[in-house]
Amino acid sequence: MKSLFVPLLSFAFVALAAAKEIRIGLIGLDTSHVIAFTKVINDPKATGPLASAKVVAAFKGGSLDVPSSAGRVEKFTKTLSEDYGLKLYPSIAELCKNVDAVMIESVDGRPHLRQSIPVIDAGLPVFIDKPMAGSLADAIFIFDYARRKGVPLFSSSSLRYGKATQAARNGALGKITYAETFSPASLEVHHPDLFWYGVHGCESLFTVMGPGCETVERRSTAEGKIEVIGKWKGGRTGIFREGKGYGGSAKGTKGEGPVGGYDGYTPLVVEVIKMFQSGKVPVAPQETIELLAFMAAADESKRREGKPVEINEIIKQARQ
């Protein structure tokens, strides 16, 4: 079955890449990302992969029990429909009939599971913005479902594509032995603590360290801020701290340098469009699952008063 599937998938995305313009639909108009991403993609001066894509449609969505969603969805919907000419559809199923690819942007991670299923069933490549889901279990289900259906899908924070972070990822500092990153980590009651905003700094950390985290300990700093210490295979250590702004540092076998900075949305958006065109996923599902497990394990460590928690334990529980 696998040997038959790959050529069929490749053929489908060769056809998509050859299309004059990839039509993109947005799901969830309750985050500033929908405006920022549409501005980047629909820029008439866009070059490279962006020149062959356009955001054309949307499904409004919104979560009444999340103030940052309910209080902004109408404003962003108006901007996208009036300033960018996006057509609004009453359902995700209708949206999928009129686009070639989808970006799930709902600021609330909980609806991402039910929002992604009709997109995957329609066979459309999909990007899911942070947080990927409202729980690790939901995220694993989404990845497994997309894999079974042969649909390209990935999720990422824009912090993954900071220039210094990517340089470290690609070997500029050699093999990374130690890294620490920081970002704001405001909380939202319906999500694991770090899923809501700490995901940005955690994404930077995993970009630099790569997969292979084994245990997680959560502590509080002297200022009462979140600190999470991860132990990777081979005795490597990665630390996330709640802080102001975005940044960090890393040490490797070739030296040390800054990581974790924010360099805008465009690098992430380019990777999303490239996936829509090629069908090639830029971030392995297992790495994103491990990142989410790292954040979920931080909550479990807090419940256990700072004791180490094994990543594999958290993933196993989520799969059950």
| CATH code where residue 124 lies | 3.40.50.720
Establish if 283 belongs to a structural domain: no
CATH number (domain holding residue 204)? 3.30.360.10
User: Which of these three, 158, 178, 210, is where a domain ends?
Assistant: 158
CA 115 vs CA 51, 91, 108, 138, 223: distances in Å: 27, 10, 11, 12, 39
163 and 150 in a common domain: no
Q: List per-residue pLDDT tens for the chain, 320 residues long.
A: 333 444 445 445 544 555 579 999 999 999 999 999 999 999 999 999 999 999 999 999 988 888 888 889 999 999 999 999 999 999 999 999 999 999 999 999 999 999 999 999 999 999 999 999 999 999 999 999 999 999 999 999 999 999 999 999 999 999 999 999 999 999 999 999 999 999 999 999 999 999 999 999 999 998 999 999 999 999 999 999 999 999 999 999 999 999 999 999 999 999 999 999 999 999 999 999 999 999 999 999 999 999 999 999 999 999 99
Same domain as 234, residue 202: yes
Q: Which domain holds residue 305?
A: 159-265+293-319
Report whether 94 contacts 46 (CB < 8 A).
no
